[in-house]
């Protein structure tokens, strides 16, 4: 069985306040599990969220592609 994280644990992993993962849950931007009245987030959902929102760096050089 996959590890289910508390909202506070997700906040620590992401380096944010607890408010941020709660907002992700409210806006349905991350997968979560209801265990009774408790909310848990699968570890893979946090990894997927980070991967989906990772921005790759631009290549150095002329940004317009025009020769100098």
Residue 62 maps to a domain: no
Residue 58 maps to a domain: no
Count up the domains in the chain and report the number: 1
Residue 14 maps to a domain: yes
Quickly list H helices, 1-68: 7-14, 19-26, 43-52
Residue 12 maps to a domain: yes
pTM of the model: 0.80
- Confidence bin at 59 (pLDDT 50/70/90): confident
Residue 32 maps to a domain: yes
Residue 61 maps to a domain: no
Place of tokens 């408790």: 38
Render pLDDT for 9-31 as a digit per residue (tens, 0 to 9).
999 999 999 999 999 999 999 99
Residue 66 maps to a domain: no
Domain extent for 15? 4-52
Residue 67 maps to a domain: no
Contact 64, 49 (CB under 8 A): no
- Confidence bin at 61 (pLDDT 50/70/90): confident
Cβ neighbors of 59 (< 8 A, separation 6 or more) are none
């Amino acid at each position: 069985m996959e590890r289910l994280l508390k909202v506070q644990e997700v906040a620590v992993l992401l380096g944010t306040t607890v408010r941020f993962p709660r907002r992700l849950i409210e806006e349905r931007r991350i997968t979560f599990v209801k265990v009774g009245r408790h909310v848990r987030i699968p570890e893979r959902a946090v990894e997927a969220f980070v991967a989906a929102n990772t921005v790759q760096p631009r290549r150095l050089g002329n940004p317009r592609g025009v020769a100098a």
